[in-house]
Amino acid sequence: MTVPKSRGTKSKRDKRRLHIFLKKPTVTKCSKCGKMIPPHTACSFCGYYKGRQIVDVLAKLTKREKKEKEKKIKNEEKIAKEKKVLNLQKLSKK
């Protein structure tokens, strides 16, 4: 077995390992509630995928939890709609 002539430097080692790193996960906005979710998956917060309800998120919750979750969903939808709508009055205030 051959032996290397000299020890490799730190820069050579780091250049070799340049492609080894963690990548940011890709995320998209849910069309219904606006939460950030992985692409091509149903939203775990509201249960919608491509504008249709796929998962009933409220089915397994108690009454109290169900009410709280419904309030959160309504607030998130309201916020998402407000972000989409741009009025001249809102733009002039900025």
Q: How far apart are CA 35 and CA 53, in angstroms?
A: 15
pLDDT at residue number 87? 66
pLDDT at residue number 84? 64
pLDDT at residue number 37? 94
Q: How confident is the model at residue 39 (pLDDT cuts 50, 70, 90)?
A: very high
Instruction: Pinpoint the alpha helices (H) of 1-94.
Output: 10-16, 63-84, 88-93
Q: How far apart are CA 16 and CA 22, in angstroms?
A: 16
The tokens describing 73, both together, are 């969903």
At residue 65, φ and ψ (nearest 5 deg) are -65, -35
3-state secondary structure of 53: strand
Q: What is the DSSP letter of 35?
A: -
3-state secondary structure of 49: strand
Residues 6+ apart with CB under 8 A from 29: 35, 36, 37
Q: How confident is the model at residue 94 (pLDDT cuts 50, 70, 90)?
A: low
pLDDT at residue number 31? 85
